[in-house]
Amino acid sequence: MSEDRDLEAKEEEASLDSAVEAATEHDLEREAAHKQGLIEKETREHGLDEG
């Protein structure tokens, strides 16, 4: 029984770690997309995208 509880605790911890990692990755991707949008906006405003 103790081994079952240990396994469950490890699985729960791994699941939590995975969720935290996914949330962090999502935040980084969102921030990068926002920065890219700002760069594109400034590029358009300064007419630098006209070739």
Tally of domains within the chain: 1
Q: What is the pLDDT of residue 51?
A: 60
Task: Render each residue's pLDDT in the chain as its tens digit; 51 residues.
Answer: 789 999 999 999 999 999 999 999 999 999 999 999 999 999 999 998 876
Q: Could you write out the DSSP letters of every residue in 24-42?
A: HHHHHHHHHHHHHHHHHHH
Q: Please, are residues 30 and 36 in contact by the beta-carbon 8 Å criterion?
A: no
Q: Which domain holds residue 45?
A: 1-51
Q: pTM of the entire structure?
A: 0.71
* CA 21 from centre of chain: 7
